[in-house]
Amino acid sequence: MDTLVHLWSGLGVAMQPFSLLMMTLGLILGLAVGVLPGLGGTAGVALLLPVTVFVAPEVAIIFLGAIYWGALFGGVITSVLFAIPGEPWSVALIFDGYPMSKQGRSGLALAASFLSSFVGIIIAAFFFVAAALPLALLALRFGPPEMFAIMMLAFSTFVGLGTGKASKTLVSTAFGLLLTAVGLDIVTGRPRLTFGTITWMSGFDFVPVTIGLFGLGEILIDGEDRFSAEAREVILAKVGWADIKEGMREIWKFFPQTVMASIMGFFVGVLPGTGATPASFLGYGLAKQYSKNPEKYGKGAIEGIIAPQSAANAAGAGSLLPMITLGIPGSPTAAVLLAGLYMWGLWPGPRLFLEQPAFVWGLIASLFLAALVCLIICLAFTPMLAAIMRIPWGLLTPIIVVACFVGSYVMRNLMFDVICTLAFGLIGYIMKKLKYALAPMAVALVLGDMTEVFLRQSLIMSDGSFAIFFTRPIAAVCMSFALLLFAFPAFKLYREKRKARVSIGPG
């Protein structure tokens, strides 16, 4: 009952004209970011983070959240029409979306993906509402050892469940953590890793580093691929009434699957550090596995659009839950949002629910509203959105690059941050080319300082004994899970090697 009252007051915050205006603006920007292949949702949110200093935090989070939803919706447009994923989470949409376009059913494919995005967010939002308060109340009892264990869980999910090499994920994580160690030591105040310079004492700020890694780095990758990507014929995108009606009918036909994919997506999103991309692949895989006619997949099956898209969007909403309640981002984009919270002077975690109810419930209520508004925008303006793709590369790239530098400068008015963006653009490009995962680095950058504080506080509590992480029940459970996940790649390698040996062996 309490929850409903809170939600109602949150709706009051989200329905204010200024909030609605900023939300719509965020959605349109997010859709644009989603459509553009050179710019991801994470970079989009990071680029606009500095702007939010000028509005109240509850409006700022609705604005940034809307960019994320817009990017989640918008990434599909280019996937379906041109087989170019605007975002990593819309790669799974190519499998069946692009064949549908080639068969001349692009309108239906788009309508179905927008509608399933909507359903995914709404279902996730209900789970969000139900789980947020209990989880926050539970988290209120967490001390430093529990928090440190949860942080470890966040890092371990990347290592255990990530797609890349575990050693490379560990390098990204360790490098990100080390970057946060630069500057003044948080406990003793001694300069650390500053090598005698004054500029390094301010430390590496999250925003210029992220803008460099995800914004400039992506521009370089995109520029290099520009010639090798084959030219694709432009398919006209128009979503008519008939498409919307048929899309609704299809979703209704596959409603159980849609709901299942959304619920699964939500929980994948809640897992620290994963986010929408694995959820969409998992949604596609599950739908195919349990389908009555799996042979239709990959040839333009509409279920192959509905499942991954609803899962991805549900995961996007789910990834905000641990961010708000525990201060742990569920996805790289949520990590940027988390950095925003710190910037606005808010301390994410359970106390947020008590101290800033307007902020938390405004955000939750805006989930419902944003999903609806975004659906309407998408259905009405898809042709215009697809036209963004036609901005010539030679004009679009300088716009994004200049925006990257201006965005990183205005955060702290430091020239050092501009140089940081340039340097991390190159670092991000090289790491991405060598298949290092960048998301763990972004999450480590946000969580690094806190992880260190919680670790040192815990050790002070226990007089230097690491046993404290295994003698308190919640910490012990989280820590054990984290250790299991850290060990998982080694176990996988061992099994593969044994299998190989068995197959080579005699007989």
Partner 1 sequence: MRKGELIVAAIFFIIACVVVGEAFRLGFRWGLSGPQAGFVPLGEALLLMISSVVIFISGLKDKSGKTFFIDKRGMTEAVKIFGTAVLLTVGIIYLGVYVATILYAALFSRWLGKHKWTTVVIFTVILTLAIFVGMEKGLKLSLPKSPLYWKGLFFF
Q: What is the binding site for partner 1 (CB under 8 A)?
A: 51, 54, 165, 167-168, 170-171, 173-175, 177-178, 181, 185, 187-188, 190, 192-193, 216, 219-221, 223-228, 392-395, 397-399, 401-402, 405-406, 409-410, 415, 418-419, 422, 425-426, 429-431, 433-434, 452, 455-457, 459-460, 464
| Residues, the chain | 507
Q: Which is nearer to partner 1, 235 or 459 (CB)?
A: 459
What is the smallest separation between the CB atom of 357 and partner 1, expressed in angstroms?
Answer: 29
Q: What angle do CA 196, 202, 206 make, to 5 degrees?
A: 130
We find the least distance from the C-beta atom of residue 200 to partner 1, in angstroms, to be 12
Q: If phi over 0 gives left and psi between -120 and 50 gives alpha, with beta otherwise, what is residue 437?
A: beta
Of 231 and 415, which has the nearer Cβ to partner 1?
A: 415
Smallest distance, partner 1 to C-beta of residue 487, A: 15
- In the complex, what is the shortest distance from the CB of residue 37 to partner 1, in angstroms, rounded to a whole number? 15
Query: What contacts 24, CB < 8 A, 6 or more positions away?
Result: 66, 373, 377
The first and second tokens of residue 20, run together, are: 């609605």
What is the CA 20 to chain-centroid distance, rounded? Answer: 23
Nearer to partner 1, 354 or 402 (CB): 402
Q: How far is the CB of 411 from partner 1 (least distance, A)?
A: 11
Least distance between partner 1 and beta carbon 177 (Å): 5
Integer Cα distance of 369 and 20 in angstroms: 9
- Complex with partner 1: residue 200 or 267, whichever CB lies closer: 200
Q: State which residue, 370 or 441, has the beta carbon closest to partner 1.
A: 441
Closest to partner 1 by CB, 7 or 426: 426
For the CB of residue 175, give the shortest distance to partner 1 in the complex, in Å: 6
Query: Which residues, other chains included, contact 328 with Cβ-Cβ below 8 Å and sequence gap of 6+?
Result: 150, 151, 154, 272, 322, 447
Residue 192 forms beta bridges with which residues?
A: 183
Q: How far is the CB of 324 from partner 1 (least distance, A)?
A: 26
**In terms of Cα–Cα distance, which of 121, 131, 128, 88 is closest to 437?**
88
SS in 3 state form for 60-127?
Answer: HHHHHHHHHHHHHHHHHHHHHHHCCCCCHHHCHHHHHHHHHHHCCCHHHHHHHHHHHHHHHHHHHHHH
Query: Judged by CB, which is closer to partner 1: 3, or 194?
Result: 194
Give yes or no for a contact between 213 and 172, defined as CB atoms under 8 angstroms apart.
Answer: no
Q: Between residues 8 and 393, which has the closer beta carbon with respect to partner 1? A: 393
Contact partners, residue 188, CB within 8 Å, separation at least 6: none
